[in-house]
Chain A
Amino acid sequence: MIHFDQVYKRYPSGREALAGVSFRIERGDLTFLTGHSGAGKSSILKLIALIERPTRGRVTVADRSTATIRPRAIPLFRRGIGVVFQDNKLLVDRPVADNVALPLIIAGVPRKEIDKRVRAALDQVGLLGKERNRPTELSAGEQQRVGIARAVVAKPPLLIADEPTGNLDPDLAVEIMRLFKRFSDVGVTIVIATHDVHLVDRFDARRIVLGDGRVAAETPR
């Protein structure tokens, strides 16, 4: 599903965030991307979602080299990827239902269908009944789950999450990870960047450890 082949990423500042990263993630895998702060975890996710482009090397997502995707085609490409952010990136002045519906509205899904799928997604993250609330009226964990509902509502085959449990207490973090595990069980490919090693230890999943812009370790392989 995802293939990095000798990928380099140098930011305009001159900082080399990735220096020859290679790995492969198969369809339906649940993969944790770990490593110290500044190791390049977020950079990898940005390259997958085409928020950034590699300086060198080849990134392949869903059998497509991202180098062949023109700027005009990026929106359509991104509709195939669900993204969860550490800071949620929710629209705070819109109700929860509108936030979750956004990918469907963008994809031009008919109204009646949208309502149905939004409720299904909120049900999956245990937030049914909060449709009319504003995100600011929810707890941090609930907001994170709204972000997850938005990421999965359009049923993308690939889900990427950057520090999805970053500012949650340990119990809540485990709960969110279990949620991801459930999506992975139904065949969604999932990549989660996190520096929380203890949390990762509790799950039986593939792990790619980054260090200084390189793959330092990979388990299991």
Chain B
Amino acid sequence: MNVGAYVDRHAQTLVGSIGRVADAPVAFLMTMTVIGIAVALPLCLFVFLQNARQAMAGWNDAFELSVYLTKSTTPTRTREVAAQIRSRDDVANVRVILAPQALAEFRRYSGFGDALDALQENPLPNTLVVTPTPAASTAAGTAALRRALRAVPDVDQVQLDTQWVQRLIAIVDLLRRVVWLAAGLLGLGVALIVGNTIRLDIQNRRAEIEVMKLVGASDGFARRPFLYSGFWYGFGGGALALLLVAVAVAWVSAPVSRLAHLYGSGFSLTGIGVEAGAVVLLSSSLLGWLGAWIAATQHIRAINPS
């Protein structure tokens, strides 16, 4: 058989399989929708996490340690300690907040002004706000820095306000694994759904397959149109999933932007992106093909003319 005829045959069956699909549009749409939803679920989670990571990337800069000095530390000594800390390799910046200044800020923001007036003296210590370098802005880095700062003379307490950010990042990383797991399971589901649909399709076309085998068709030849059907199922389902995700993103995008604005962030939701979209389309098509291949190979072999 020459190459031209081979390509011709493939083109014929590829187009022919669209015709088959068009024969039973309702069944096709049903299967496609099921696949679309199955693919859309992990995809939505993926988009959510992708955005969460992006949003939290900004928060890394906000890693700060509050260093409270002992009550007896003088403003001069406070500045000396600040300079000493600033000279460390893992420290990007040190801000000095002297006690009266801290009290003024607290009075302004807390609303406890009257209560503070009742106090004899300023309860707040001199404070240093230490920003680690980006390289040190990790769980281990900030913990080490915190230990080191505690050992500095005249330092009373060191507080890390942003531990929860790290916990959140850890959770997101965990969820990313969950996404892969879900994607794997649902991918398997897609192959099974297509496989089952193809199995039914083969049963309906049993007589036709028998005739083809009688006039000399190999199993591979009889299988080919079903492989293309599987491909179209996967492709259609993947395309539907992308559409669903795009709609979902568009739907929540405006409220998210408003929320981000309230928090003074310019963050806005990003969709799935062209590259990831192509990967989704390709893999769902391949899964459809694979599911069809497994089902067709098995069930066509079992059909023998009598």
Residues of A near any B CB (own CB < 8 A) = 46, 49, 51, 72, 75-79, 83, 89-91, 102-103, 105-111, 150
Inter-chain contacts of A105 with B (CB < 8 A)? 9, 12
How far, in angstroms, from A175 to B229 measured CA to CA in the complex?
42
Q: Is B2 an interface residue (CB 8 A)?
A: yes
CB distance from A187 to the nearest CB of B (A): 21
- The list of the 3 closest CB pairs from A to B, nearest first, reads A108-B1, A79-B216, A78-B216
**Which of A77, A79, A89 is close to B211, meaning CB atoms less than 8 Å apart?**
A89
How far, in angstroms, from A105 to B305 measured CA to CA in the complex?
19
In the bound complex, do residue B216 and residue A103 qualify as a contact, i.e. CB atoms below 8 Å apart?
Answer: yes
How far, in angstroms, from A107 to B221 measured CA to CA in the complex?
10
In the bound complex, do residue A75 and residue B218 qualify as a contact, i.e. CB atoms below 8 Å apart?
Answer: yes
Residues of B near any A CB (own CB < 8 A) = 1-2, 4-6, 8-9, 12, 207-208, 210-218, 221, 304-306
Known contacts A89-B210, A105-B9, A110 near B4 by CB under 8 Å? yes
How far, in angstroms, from A83 to B213 measured CA to CA in the complex?
12
Inter-chain contacts of A51 with B (CB < 8 A)? 214, 304-306
**Which of A46, A72, A75, A91 is close to B217, meaning CB atoms less than 8 Å apart?**
A75
Which chain B residue has the least Cβ–Cβ distance from A99? B211
CB distance from B17 to the nearest CB of A (A): 14
How far, in angstroms, from A103 to B215 measured CA to CA in the complex?
6
Judged by DSSP, the binding face of A is: helix
Inter-chain contacts of B208 with A (CB < 8 A)? 91
CB distance from A19 to the nearest CB of B (A): 21
Judged by DSSP, the binding face of B is: helix
In the bound complex, do residue A110 and residue B217 qualify as a contact, i.e. CB atoms below 8 Å apart?
Answer: no
CB distance from A214 to the nearest CB of B (A): 23
CB distance from B163 to the nearest CB of A (A): 66
Inter-chain contacts of B221 with A (CB < 8 A)? 75, 106
Inter-chain contacts of B306 with A (CB < 8 A)? 46, 51
How far, in angstroms, from A21 to B3 measured CA to CA in the complex?
45
How far, in angstroms, from A46 to B306 measured CA to CA in the complex?
8
16 A–B pairs (Cβ distance < 8 Å), ordered by A = A49-B214, A51-B305, A51-B306, A75-B221, A78-B213, A78-B214, A78-B216, A83-B214, A83-B215, A90-B211, A102-B215, A108-B9, A110-B2, A110-B5, A110-B8, A111-B8
In the bound complex, do residue A106 and residue B214 qualify as a contact, i.e. CB atoms below 8 Å apart?
Answer: no
How far, in angstroms, from A108 to B212 measured CA to CA in the complex?
14
CB distance from B208 to the nearest CB of A (A): 6
**Which of B4, B6, B216, B305 is close to A106, meaning CB atoms less than 8 Å apart?**
B216
In the bound complex, do residue A106 and residue B215 qualify as a contact, i.e. CB atoms below 8 Å apart?
Answer: yes
How far, in angstroms, from A51 to B304 measured CA to CA in the complex?
8
How far, in angstroms, from A89 to B304 measured CA to CA in the complex?
14
Which chain B residue has the least Cβ–Cβ distance from A113? B5
Which chain B residue has the least Cβ–Cβ distance from A109? B5
CB distance from A65 to the nearest CB of B (A): 19
Q: Which of A75, A76, A102, A109 has the most CB of B within 10 A?
A: A75
In the bound complex, do residue A108 and residue B5 qualify as a contact, i.e. CB atoms below 8 Å apart?
Answer: yes
CB distance from B170 to the nearest CB of A (A): 56
Which chain B residue has the least Cβ–Cβ distance from A77? B216
**Which of B6, B207, B211 is close to A108, meaning CB atoms less than 8 Å apart?**
B6
Inter-chain contacts of A78 with B (CB < 8 A)? 213-216
In the bound complex, do residue B212 and residue A102 qualify as a contact, i.e. CB atoms below 8 Å apart?
Answer: yes
Inter-chain contacts of B9 with A (CB < 8 A)? 105, 108
CB distance from A32 to the nearest CB of B (A): 22
